[in-house]
């Protein structure tokens, strides 16, 4: 089992999977946003408010995961918090 976890840590599997999952969610959210903007009966300000309320937390999440991925990219330790 130790060899498996060493393999996972050395190749940064968890960070890469987290990055790809969040990226996939962003793509799905972008597609939803386009559909919402085209079909919503709200006025422009209402549409903008809904889209901003959806995208603000998602962009912060993506920023955090992207920073985590890039900050540990060259690190020998794959465990978050150990540099």
Task: Express each pLDDT in 27-65 by its tens digit.
Answer: 999 999 999 988 989 998 999 999 999 999 988 988 888
Q: How many domains does the chain have?
A: 1
Token pair recorded at residue 69? 């991925």
Q: Comparing 6-15, 26-35, 69-78, which segment has the lowest mean pLDDT?
A: 69-78
Is 8 domain-assigned?
no
Is 77 domain-assigned?
no
pLDDT score for 74: 57
Is 21 domain-assigned?
yes
Is 45 domain-assigned?
yes
The more confidently predicted of residues 76 and 17 is 17
For residue 65, the enclosing domain spans 15-71
The reported pTM is 0.66
Is 48 domain-assigned?
yes
Count Cβ neighbours within 10 Å for each residue of 9-18 and write b for 16 or more, e otherwise. eeebeebeee
């Amino acid at each position: 089992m130790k060899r498996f976890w060493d393999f996972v840590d050395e190749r940064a599997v968890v960070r890469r999977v987290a990055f790809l999952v969040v990226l996939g969610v962003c793509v799905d959210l972008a597609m939803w946003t386009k559909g919402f903007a085209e079909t919503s009966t709200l006025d422009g300000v209402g549409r903008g408010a809904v889209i901003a309320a959806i995208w603000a937390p998602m962009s912060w999440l993506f920023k955090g995961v992207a920073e985590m991925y890039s900050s540990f990219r060259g690190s020998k330790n794959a465990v978050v918090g150990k540099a």
